[in-house]
Chain A
């Protein structure tokens, strides 16, 4: 296949903000290198990529076991699960989520096949946790973007995916066994689907194979794990995060005056836990700092917000984190990487998925602390905030790391590797 002078790179993020915004960062860098990035996306994300100047190709929304009438239905169904331990979440949240993901992969198979035949991209960047057989069958070079924690790639040296435990935790075997059992129905269904379209079955618990071409991991060096079997450097590249450029953020005026700046953002789904955020805001009121709080679409649920707290429905997160002294987040991998990229310590209150793994890793590597979202006291919260803001050696270590990450821009590194892949035109 000839490579066009201005090659088309189709970025295909899953329907989550983390993957979408991560791909926007790479697409910005690809555009600067003369490529033509386009997005294949969930219809609910239409407009997001266009706002950054990228063409969009929405696929049908797909099936999915979850069909709530409103977000409130979804939230009221799942909020209680988010207070469970990672082990307890396997049956209540992880299993059903894999079911929904498999539904999506099956539903978009035919339209994706048609779209790829029409678009004829020179490469596809798949930022997802499941394989789309249409992509494998297309013969187009594809890149696997691992935008979750590196636990997504199993290894004896890393903890089990979504477990939130240490690699050598004695409960490891139990978690692995329970995980395989919880995802088995979805996994069996997915393998049957793969067989039906001529794709080999995947081993137990896996929904996505490694790309023979290129695999990109966000995991910055400071939190990277030592693997029992090192990843092949020809096919696996660590990006040191992948932080997109955002518009400027003008710091709001706080009637309370000055003090350290803390940003709280639990992701769009996490913002639905109004009770948790209200409780945190009540604690912030007595703490001598300024707090910027992302409340998503729930602004009207709040009243009598203290003078040292500013809330809004959305923030250009990287531009905000860059100005902060502490980032309180849910352990989403983009949030974790952004904190590291800007040299800001993390206070992680995970609620699901790899948030548990990043919370554990933040503690293990000393770049942050973890609090259980449903079991903390105001004293514990303020103590965690104070210790992270006041830890000068940590700040100095994070600043050095941030300088290193900035010098090795993840978005640029990813774009260079993708451009090189299109030139090479053969698997590594």
Chain B
């Protein structure tokens, strides 16, 4: 139960079902493979035993580390943190892929406007061919992640998502207020272990060629990085507000409009902020955070055509010329 609570507190996106399935297989391999508490689990070895590539193994092992089943150290990698006899219980504690899958489907269909702003459990039950209990479980997962609210009566109401240029611009403006403030409050605490793990992942992403760049992995590291900033804030209200807001960034398609060059540049900006945090230069880190968020806020024009006026995405009429000159 403790492990579940811990998993729910994290801002990391809900695990993908294939990673969950692979995590189950890894636990089975651990049980049957004679591993002992404290044994090292090399990614390559586990990938071979599970007959898959290293990339999904990495995600599944990270998931198990989140659950407290594995530990991770920069130099040593993953090691078994529980007695192999506990892997059955650990497997049962993994989040259910079914309800998560249904929650993902609901989100996907809302993003594609297949679902209206207001839904009921009965209508979702009919649509997805699931019983009402399963649907309610998924709705609660979404409620917990701030995607949806219970409305009076039988209805559920989707919250405004960051799926339009204006909402996205407002989101960046909000984060520009909060995230530098989190770093500037006296008493900011860097989770050095998490920072080291993130640095490892970001450097690996920077080293990968453009054609094989993993956008989903970027998205995961990005959320984890900004979540770490939130959790380090000494002002708990600032930290909670950031965490709460970050959950809304997982909408399918939210990163589609960004090309790989910018994602790599953004990763370099994350690393530069980390450098300053590790050096305890919080003022400089906050300044770099502002630059990072401003550059990320920059968006494509909403519409343009030969001879027609250009309106930048997210701009209000009064902002058309002035606001953007600050960048």
Which A residues lie at the B interface, using CB under 8 A? Answer: 14-17, 42-48, 50-53, 61, 64, 66-71, 74, 78, 96-98, 100-101, 129, 245-250, 252-253, 255, 267-269, 271-272, 296-297, 299-300, 302-307, 309-316, 353
Is B252 interfacial (CB-CB < 8 Å)?
A: yes
A64 to B112, CA, bound (A): 36
Taking a contact as CB atoms under 8 Å apart, the answer to whether A313 and B257 are in contact is: yes
A304 to B302, CA, bound (A): 24
Is B303 interfacial (CB-CB < 8 Å)?
A: yes
Taking a contact as CB atoms under 8 Å apart, the answer to whether B306 and A307 are in contact is: no
**Do A312 and B256 contact each other (CB < 8 Å), given the known contacts A47-B324, A304-B116?**
yes
29 A-B pairs, CB-CB below 8 angstroms?
A15-B306, A16-B304, A44-B310, A44-B312, A45-B304, A46-B298, A47-B299, A48-B301, A51-B298, A52-B262, A53-B261, A64-B307, A66-B307, A69-B317, A71-B311, A78-B308, A97-B307, A101-B306, A129-B306, A248-B260, A252-B252, A255-B109, A268-B303, A299-B163, A300-B164, A304-B113, A305-B113, A311-B113, A316-B259
B185-220 interface (Cβ within 8 A of A): 210-211, 213, 215-216
A314 to chain B: which residues have CB within 8 Å? 256-257, 300
Q: How far is the CB of B209 from chain A (nearest CB, A)?
A: 12
**Do A67 and B165 contact each other (CB < 8 Å), given the known contacts A247-B259, A310-B112, A314-B300?**
no
**Do A47 and B298 contact each other (CB < 8 Å), given the known contacts A69-B317, A100-B307, A252-B108?**
yes
B308 to chain A: which residues have CB within 8 Å? 66, 74, 78, 97, 100, 269
Which B residues lie at the A interface, using CB under 8 A? Answer: 105, 108-109, 111-114, 116, 163-165, 210-211, 213, 215-216, 252-253, 256-263, 265, 295, 298-313, 317, 320-321, 324-325, 327
Instruction: Point out the residue from A96, A129, A296, A300 that lies within 8 Å of B303, measured CB to CB.
Output: A296
Taking a contact as CB atoms under 8 Å apart, the answer to whether A71 and B301 are in contact is: no
A311 to chain B: which residues have CB within 8 Å? 112-113
B116 to chain A: which residues have CB within 8 Å? 303-304
A307 to B112, CA, bound (A): 9
Taking a contact as CB atoms under 8 Å apart, the answer to whether A297 and B313 are in contact is: yes
**Do A309 and B215 contact each other (CB < 8 Å), given the known contacts A52-B259, A296-B303?**
no
List the 4 closest pairs (A to B, CB-CB), nearest first.
A44-B310, A47-B298, A97-B307, A268-B303
A305 to B111, CA, bound (A): 10
Taking a contact as CB atoms under 8 Å apart, the answer to whether A269 and B256 are in contact is: no
A310 to chain B: which residues have CB within 8 Å? 112
A42 to chain B: which residues have CB within 8 Å? 304, 310
A353 to chain B: which residues have CB within 8 Å? 306
Q: How far is the CB of B215 from chain A (nearest CB, A)?
A: 6
A97 to B165, CA, bound (A): 27
Instruction: Point out the residue from B108, B164, B311, B327 that lies within 8 Å of A253, measured CB to CB.
Output: B108
Taking a contact as CB atoms under 8 Å apart, the answer to whether B327 and A248 are in contact is: no
Instruction: Point out the residue from A48, A66, A101 that lies within 8 Å of B309, measured CB to CB.
Output: A66
A61 to chain B: which residues have CB within 8 Å? 310, 320-321
Q: How far is the CB of B44 from chain A (nearest CB, A)?
A: 25
Taking a contact as CB atoms under 8 Å apart, the answer to whether B261 and A269 are in contact is: no
B112 to chain A: which residues have CB within 8 Å? 252, 305, 309-312
A16 to chain B: which residues have CB within 8 Å? 304-306
A66 to B306, CA, bound (A): 12
A366 to B121, CA, bound (A): 50
Measured CB to CB, the nearest residue on chain B to A16 is: B306
Q: Known A-B contacts: A311-B112, A314-B256. Give 7 more (CB < 8 A).
A: A43-B321, A64-B307, A269-B303, A272-B303, A296-B303, A313-B165, A314-B257
Measured CB to CB, the nearest residue on chain A to B265 is: A53
B304 to chain A: which residues have CB within 8 Å? 15-17, 42, 44-45, 268-269
Taking a contact as CB atoms under 8 Å apart, the answer to whether B305 and A269 are in contact is: yes
Q: How far is the CB of B103 from chain A (nearest CB, A)?
A: 14
A252 to chain B: which residues have CB within 8 Å? 108, 112, 252-253
Most buried by B among A42, A43, A100: A43
B210 to chain A: which residues have CB within 8 Å? 245
**Do A247 and B114 contact each other (CB < 8 Å), given the known contacts A47-B324, A129-B306?**
no
**Do A44 and B256 contact each other (CB < 8 Å), given the known contacts A16-B304, A305-B112?**
no
Instruction: Point out the residue from A52, A255, A299, A312 that lies within 8 Å of B261, measured CB to CB.
Output: A52
A48 to B304, CA, bound (A): 12
A249 to B164, CA, bound (A): 19
**Do A302 and B113 contact each other (CB < 8 Å), given the known contacts A51-B258, A268-B301?**
yes
Q: How far is the CB of B120 from chain A (nearest CB, A)?
A: 15
A302 to chain B: which residues have CB within 8 Å? 113
A45 to B211, CA, bound (A): 26
Taking a contact as CB atoms under 8 Å apart, the answer to whether A268 and B261 are in contact is: no
A96 to B263, CA, bound (A): 40
Measured CB to CB, the nearest residue on chain B to A93 is: B307
A96 to B311, CA, bound (A): 19
B299 to chain A: which residues have CB within 8 Å? 47
Q: How far is the CB of A144 from chain B (nearest CB, A)?
A: 16
Taking a contact as CB atoms under 8 Å apart, the answer to whether A248 and B163 are in contact is: no
B325 to chain A: which residues have CB within 8 Å? 43
Q: How far is the CB of B288 from chain A (nearest CB, A)?
A: 17
Taking a contact as CB atoms under 8 Å apart, the answer to whether A315 and B256 are in contact is: yes
A14 to chain B: which residues have CB within 8 Å? 306
Taking a contact as CB atoms under 8 Å apart, the answer to whether B302 and A316 are in contact is: no
Taking a contact as CB atoms under 8 Å apart, the answer to whether A247 and B258 are in contact is: yes
Most buried by B among A15, A68, A269, A315: A15
B216 to chain A: which residues have CB within 8 Å? 250
Q: How far is the CB of B182 from chain A (nearest CB, A)?
A: 25
A44 to B111, CA, bound (A): 27
Q: How far is the CB of A190 from chain B (nearest CB, A)?
A: 13
Q: How far is the CB of A353 from chain B (nearest CB, A)?
A: 6
